[in-house]
Amino acid sequence: MPHEVIMPALGMAQDTGRIVSWLKQPGEAVASGDALFEVETDKATMEVEAAHDGYLTDVRAGAGEDVPVGNAVAMISDTPEDSGMTGNNAGAGADATNDPPDDAALPEGREVIMPALGMSQDSGTIVAWLVEAGAQVAADDPLFEVETDKSTVEVPAGHAGHVAALLAEAGEEVAVGAAVAVISAEKPAAPVQRKARAAPAETAPAKPARPAPSSVPKDGPAPVAPTAGGRILASPKARRLAAEQGLDLARLAEAGHPQPYHVKDLEVLRGMGQTRAATPGTDDFPMQITARVPATPGAEFHAWISAEGATAPPVPVLWAAFACGALRRARDAGNASLTVALTGVASPARKLADPDLHRLTQQVEAEETTGPALILRDFSDSAITGMRLSTPSAPAVTMGREGDDLIVTLDFTAAQIDEDQALAFITDFTARLSDPLRHLL
């Protein structure tokens, strides 16, 4: 569909512009952004660019002609032929009937456009309408107020007549050159009043949510987290050193040491000793391995023992025996007695004296005072599949259930067993769970 090319308002006090020369010939293809013609105002000569792609047609003002601001000087059409869609000559207002079909409902009359009040202005915001739809106006009556990045100014009607349509509401931002009102010669039967059409180009895409700025600065590790009691005041260097050395400034605060903290206060913190927070690479840093095995082989094995007539131990005791055997091999522990502490949701807490060295059907309780070599927590009857609570006193195996699978979690520290032993243990243990006959061999 054809688009009008209008004489832009390039200055605040500009009524007309003189076309110095056309830079495109009638019928020539133009792209949006191409310079179409040069216009001279009281201040400067500048190029006017095409706002649409198409062909320059219907050129109705030649070089040297003065054209009132806002009047059409040509069309940009889909074909090189004149559209013939205009009866207006230079000096006449642009005709609303030239607009696209969705403007068909608009009353006949002359369009009032959003003027370009600054050199770099793309759009203007209508601050307020100064007339009512349907009102009678003279050509120099102020029609509306427009706000640009620089100032707020009144825009006159430009044509005498009646306000037949207001095409944007106060507060709306309208692209320069877009029609904001129609002035008709006759009093309109039903004046139109509506919001500006949301032109696709004006609809800014929703801004993607910005990722939260990283709290880890490049120059050093993150400062320690503030305590529940509020922010700890400490110098940047004291915070950095505390984080690097695994010192928790909150402990100084809890001990009532006066803030703010500086590097020298870290000495006090070091003196507080022992319960410092674990850091990776230290002996007491908690580590964890998780594995998944099918539950069926174990269940079948338990059923088989029971079918043989023997007094089968509870399933957790079976697991304790498997785990104890796996731990013996992983630690290369020979015949040393390994106590297993057994806890769980369904069974009372027990301490078994080496369930691996004893027969499966004859479990022996260990002495109450014996420290366990392994802790086995049975949560296979609960929704819990794994846990890491306070670091346990021995390697801890947690048995959880997920459908037909057992989830086996080993929590340990380097002070208890090393990483290789832990991996060997979990591999051996899960192999026994998957194929319990291995345990008997």
Partner 1 sequence: MREITLSKAVNEAIAEEMRRDPTTFLIGEDVAEAGTPFKVLSGLVEEFGTERVIDTPIAEPGFMGIAVGAALTGSRPIVDLMFGDFIFLIMDQLCNQAAKACYMSGGKLNVPLVLRTNLGATRRSAAQHSQSLHALVAHIPGLKVALPSSAYEAKGLMKTAIRDNNPVVIFEDKLMYQEKALVPEEEFLIPFGEANVKREGTDITLIGTSSMVQVAEAAAEQLASEGISAEVIDPRTIVPLDEATLLESVRKTSRAIVIDEGHQSFGTTAEIASRLNEKAFYHLDAPVLRMGAMDVPVPFSPALEDITVPTAEGVADNARKLCAGEMIHAA
CB of 439 to partner 1, least distance (A): 55
In the complex, the smallest distance separating the C-beta of residue 223 from partner 1, rounded to whole angstroms, is 9
Half-sphere exposure of 219 (CA within 13 A, CB side): 5
Span interacting with partner 1, options 14-22, 48-56, 261-269, 425-433, rule CB under 8 A: 261-269
Least distance to partner 1, CB of residue 270, Å: 16
The residue within the footprint of partner 1, chosen from 264, 309, 383, 420 (CB under 8 A), is 264
Q: Is 235 in the site for partner 1 (CB under 8 A)?
A: yes
In the range 97-156, which residues lie near partner 1 by CB under 8 A?
A: none
> 82: which 2 tokens?
């004149």
For 241, counting Cβ atoms within 10 Å of its Cβ (0-12 exposed, 13-18 middle, 19+ buried), the class is middle
Distance CA 266, CA 271 (A): 9
Pick from 11, 26, 27, 220 the residue near partner 1 by CB under 8 A. 220
CB within 8 Å of 64: residues ≥ 6 apart:
18, 19, 20
CA angle 139, 141, 144 (to 5 degrees): 115
Phi-psi group of 403: left, alpha or beta (phi > 0 → left; psi -120 to 50 → alpha; rest → beta): left
Q: Beta partners for 136?
A: 162
Task: Choose one: 216-224, 270-278, 346-354, 365-373; the region binding partner 1 (CB under 8 A).
Answer: 216-224
Distance set, CA 254 to CA 7, 226, 227, 228, 265 (Å): 75, 12, 9, 11, 14
Task: In angstroms, give the least distance from the CB of 278 to partner 1.
Answer: 23
CB of 236 to partner 1, least distance (A): 5
Work out how close the CB of 264 gets to partner 1 at its nearest, in angstroms, rounded to a whole number.
Answer: 7
249 binds partner 1 (CB under 8 A): no
Give the interface size with partner 1 as a residue count (CB under 8 A).
Answer: 15
Stretch that binds partner 1, among 28-36, 147-155, 189-197, 254-262 (CB under 8 A): 254-262
Per the CB < 8 A criterion, the answer to whether 129 and 143 are in contact is yes
User: Which stretch in 46-54, 126-134, 233-241, 322-330 sits in contact with partner 1 by CB under 8 A?
Assistant: 233-241
**Residue 371 binds partner 1 (CB under 8 A):** no
Nearest-approach distance from CB 44 to partner 1, in angstroms: 22
Distance CA 8, CA 114 (A): 10
Applying CB under 8 A, which part among 23-31, 168-176, 215-223, 392-400 lies near partner 1? 215-223
CB of 285 vs partner 1, minimal distance in Å: 24
Q: Decide: is 238 part of the binding site for partner 1 (CB under 8 A).
A: yes
| Shorter beta-carbon distance to partner 1: residue 137 or 234 | 234
233 binds partner 1 (CB under 8 A): yes
CB-nearer residue toward partner 1: 59 or 242? 242
Interface with partner 1, residue 296, by CB under 8 A: no
Question: CA dist 332 to 89, 225, 237, 355, 421, Å?
Answer: 104, 42, 47, 16, 9
Residue with tokens 């990776």: 280
Q: Are 243 and 223 in contact (CB under 8 A)?
A: yes
Least distance from C-beta 240 to partner 1, angstroms? 4
Helix (H) or strand (E) holding 326: helix 315-331
Q: Does 250 bind partner 1 (CB under 8 A)?
A: no
3-state secondary structure of 261: strand
Note whether 145 and 128 are within 8 A (CB).
yes
Binding-site ranges for partner 1 (CB under 8 A): 217, 219-220, 233, 235-240, 259-260, 262-264
